[in-house]
Chains A and B, each alone.
Chain A
Amino acid sequence: MDRSLSSRFLVARFLLLPIGMVCLFGSQLTRQSTAPAGPFTDVRASSGITYRQRNGAIGGKELIETFTSGCGLVDYDNDGLLDIYMVNGAATPSLRKEGPEYSNRLYRNLGNFKFVDVTQVAHAEGRGYGMGVAVGDYDNDGFPDLYITSFGQNQLLHNRGDGTFEDVTEKAGVGGGGWSTSAAFFDYDRDGYLDLFVARYVVYELGKHPRCGDQKRSLFSYCLPDLFQPMTDLLFHNNHDGTFTDVSHTAGIDRARGRGLGVTVGDYDGDGWQDIFVANDRGRNFLFHNKGDGTFEEVGLPAGIAYSMDGVARAGMGTDFGDYDQDGWLDILVNDFETEGTALFHNLKGQFFTDVGGEVGLRDASYPYVVFGGKFVDYDNDGFLDIFAVSGHTQDDITAYKPDITYPEPKLLFRNVGGRFRRVEDGPGGVLGRLKVSRGAAFGDLDNDGSVDVVVNDTNDFPEILRNMAGGKNKSLLIKLVGTNSNRDGIGTRLEVHYGNHVQILEAKSAASYFAANDLRVHVGLGTSPQVDVLVLHWPSGRAQTVRNLAAGYLHVISEDRGVISSTKLTVKPTDASNVP
């Protein structure tokens, strides 16, 4: 009897299998067509982007493997669409791009989230073991150039304006050396030309590190950075002739040594001069105050941003300046390590900062994660800066040490609600909860619909091209600056955006997040307001300019000497906003 029951059961199973398969496929189809509406959706698979990051790990547990790589957004061909530059690692221990799989990649944006790989044609493969990228038009020729940081020599790729780049590192004198991480183009002396700041990490030699981990359990892991000496950062002054001079010493930058990872620039004290913030790993953060005479003073300690509230050094990574509470002063976001929590240094009128990360709800939500890339971004265009960050542990065997923690981690999206941040999560299958080992994250409007999209570089994985589905429910506009006396990109321009009862303070910059270069255009979320009533621009040259009645839904190009020179309608898709958190 048992046997007959069993055989009947077997028959039933075989009979059911095809039906089950139909049901399975059917349910997948259904799921695809009714995918949960999240604020972002990953369109990489259909975008034509096939790049896959390689960190070159072969078991030696070289520290460089766990920090790379970043990415950048750059409209290299000036066609109005942001292109994507992905930085890649290299083979170890050669540190050479031994095959095409290690090449950096430049993807030209064809529109509608379609991209084509133009790396070879553009001569943008890069060399060595890449870390991050900075974007800026250092020679004011109207075409954005690329600066690629590496473990070893960095690389300056001059945009020739014909769709190709030329390696001008040697001529320009910006090769640096050691282990460079994030970099920023900005005009620290306001002479109309972009200078270059490069953060550096630790003194490191491949194969020379101790064997770290838990020997009792035969766990071989990445060493803590404390074992390695911190480095000085670099500042290169632009000589206006295609060359730079290393002024790290005379400018006072090399007086501080840290394990620099994240860099951002902004005028935190409102004196008209761009300052530099460096998020350091396991050491105090730096705030280089620009004294306006070509020198900087590191004021992190008295300003209160060096350590956590209780005086402990954290592991600073991605960072950004932004006025999250609209009090007119730029605050500082710093992504930190697991059990540290994201820091938000609230600016107390340009003199001091206090970490309000716990107070505003960031600390607890970020506490379990190692948060790398991330910045302020008004993802829903409601007029208030939200925060988008990506994470992934540094130890690939972390679960052996901490069973609650995984190597891949989720993304963190925080919505700004009256100065407090609430975590936004999407449902099963959503991109926010999906676990990845993410590093660099670059932010910009890839489809010119007025909403900020995100590109994420994931370790040994495909990147994520996250299309913003949430911005369409509010109004927004983009501003592209064209400097004439100031640097061509207008980097460092402060924008006072007045609409209704709101005033937003924004600054034009590319450097923020982690190892990343972001959209140089200034994105302004306007909530329900149909226009910006008054826009006051404070250009780095010192010129103040007022523009009125800028309509929402447009990209406005504003020249330093001619005002608005064009307004192009954005491809806003309001239907994208249905059921989106």
Chain B
Amino acid sequence: MNRGLRKLANAVRVLGCWAALASLTGGPTLAQNAETGFNQALQAFRAGDRQKAVTVLEAVLKAYPDHAPSHELLGLSLSALGENPEALRHLREAVKLWPDQPVYWINLAILYLRQSRTDEAEKALKQSLEVEPSAPAFRLLGLIRLDQNWGEDAVRLFQKALDLAHDEPESWYYLGLAQQSLAHSEEALHCYEEALKRAPGDFHTQLQMGSLLLSRGQRHQALEHLRVAQAIRPQDAEVYQRLSEAYLGNGDLQQALESARRGADLRPDNCEVHYQLGLVLARLGKSEEAKKEFAISEGLPKKPETTPLERWRALLGEALRNNGPKP
């Protein structure tokens, strides 16, 4: 059976159950009630009222336990409320009821990723791709590979995501990260340029581009991107640290000092920012002040390295909200 027919058959199976149920329980009223209830919950979900969505969906599922879209939306709502085990149960139920719905698999994978269950997430994504190749599924798999330090495979997967959706800046950004993980700086720069053509206001891409240019000694170009990043997020300490590095490299000690001080004000618990401030002060001949900053830096815990997937995980709540249910 080809993919389209299989999807249709499953849809008939899932929807057919509701129709049969409706006919047994007095015509279309109950089916309509399920749809009405689901739509009501969806509205509440989109409005940010997760608790209301949960209440409505639980009522719908009590009457219609096989209503896959309600299971999926309930899973997403519970996840947003932090009730992950229950959320997972409902998303698993959704994919069981409607296995040919690729978005369900993707959302299930996202929930797994949120709990660092990478192997299960990978399986869910592969299921999604089996149903229908999609850019988000390839992108998520790419992120998993990047997290597993398998840069070459990550590049391949992000490229597949781009083959399906050439204009998605996210895929360009992540392809850039994957290229950078392989020390392919030229290719990474190209990817970030492509991402910025499509989303010039993206903070992460501007910062990444600026940082990469800085590490290559291209300080003037780096400054252009870092200043844009600074304008987008004027409260981000890392931008000021990078700006300070760039100014210091250019010999602009006053600007380097101002940026480093701003970074340290914003993140007094960040050891790298204090180290940078110490370096600038040392270059300015302010040895005692420099020593103090170095001492602060050495006394602070070192920032644990974060992988792209970890960074991405932190944004998953947002991703789930944006993704939303697509029954």
Contact = CB atoms under 8 A, between A and B. Distances in A.
Interface string A346-381: 000000101010111001110110000000000000
B182 interface: yes
A535 interface: no
A354 B217 CA distance: 11
B245 A310 contact: yes
B279 A368 contact: no
B302 A313 contact: yes
Given A301-B294, A359-B217, A403 B272 contact: no
A321 B61 CA distance: 72
Interface string A20-41: 0000000000000000000000
A302 B185 contact: no
B271 A311 contact: yes
Contacts of A405: 149
Contact of A365 (B152, B183, B214, B273): B183
Contacts of A310: 211, 241-242, 245, 272
Interface residues of A, number: 29
Contact of A302 (B151, B249, B294): B294
Given A302-B287, A368-B182, A358 B215 contact: yes
B169 interface: no
A352 B275 contact: no
Contacts of B291: 302
A307 B275 contact: yes
Nearest to A309: B245
Interface in B284-305: 287, 290-291, 294, 297, 302
B153 A403 contact: yes
Interface in A253-302: 301-302
A359 B275 CA distance: 21
Interface string B273-285: 1011011001100
A341 B278 CA distance: 24
Interface residues of B, number: 36
A440 interface: no
Contact of A363 (B184, B215, B249, B297): B215
B305 to A, nearest CB: 8
Contacts of B181: 339
A341 B212 CA distance: 13
Contacts of B312: none
B183 A311 contact: no
A402 interface: yes
B217 A304 contact: no
Contacts of B245: 309-310
B284 to A, nearest CB: 11
A298 B259 CA distance: 27
A79 interface: no
Contacts of B282: 301-304, 352
A312 interface: yes
A339 B151 CA distance: 12
A158 B164 CA distance: 71
A491 to B, nearest CB: 30
Interface string A390-410: 000000000001111100000
Contacts of B112: none
Contacts of B152: 403-404
A480 to B, nearest CB: 39
A364 B271 CA distance: 26
Given A301-B294, A401-B149, A358 B183 contact: no
Interface string A508-531: 000000000000000000000000
Interface string A123-148: 00000000000000000000000000
A309 B279 CA distance: 10
Given A364-B185, A367-B183, A311 B150 contact: no
Contacts of B241: 310-311
Contacts of B149: 401-405
A309 B182 CA distance: 20
B272 A404 contact: no
Contacts of B278: 301-302
A359 B216 contact: yes
B173 to A, nearest CB: 19
A312 B276 CA distance: 11
A82 B135 CA distance: 61
Interface string A327-355: 00000000000010100000000001010
Contacts of A368: 182-183
B275 A302 contact: no
B216 A358 contact: yes
Contacts of A303: 282
Interface in B107-127: none
Interface in B208-263: 211, 214-217, 241-242, 245, 248-249
Nearest to B245: A309
Contacts of A402: 148-150
B240 to A, nearest CB: 12
Contact of A404 (B182, B217, B275, B294): B182
Contacts of A401: 149
A552 B320 CA distance: 72
22 contacts: A301-B278, A301-B282, A309-B214, A309-B215, A309-B245, A310-B272, A311-B273, A311-B276, A311-B297, A313-B302, A341-B183, A352-B282, A354-B249, A356-B217, A359-B217, A363-B215, A364-B183, A364-B184, A365-B183, A403-B149, A404-B150, A404-B152
Interface of A: 301-304, 306-307, 309-313, 339, 341, 352, 354, 356, 358-360, 363-365, 367-368, 401-405
Lowest 7 A-B CB distances belong to which pairs? Answer: A359-B217, A367-B183, A311-B272, A302-B282, A402-B149, A311-B275, A358-B215
Given A301-B279, A359-B217, 17 more contacts: A301-B290, A302-B290, A306-B275, A307-B275, A310-B242, A311-B272, A311-B273, A313-B302, A356-B217, A364-B184, A365-B183, A367-B183, A368-B183, A402-B150, A403-B153, A404-B151, A404-B152
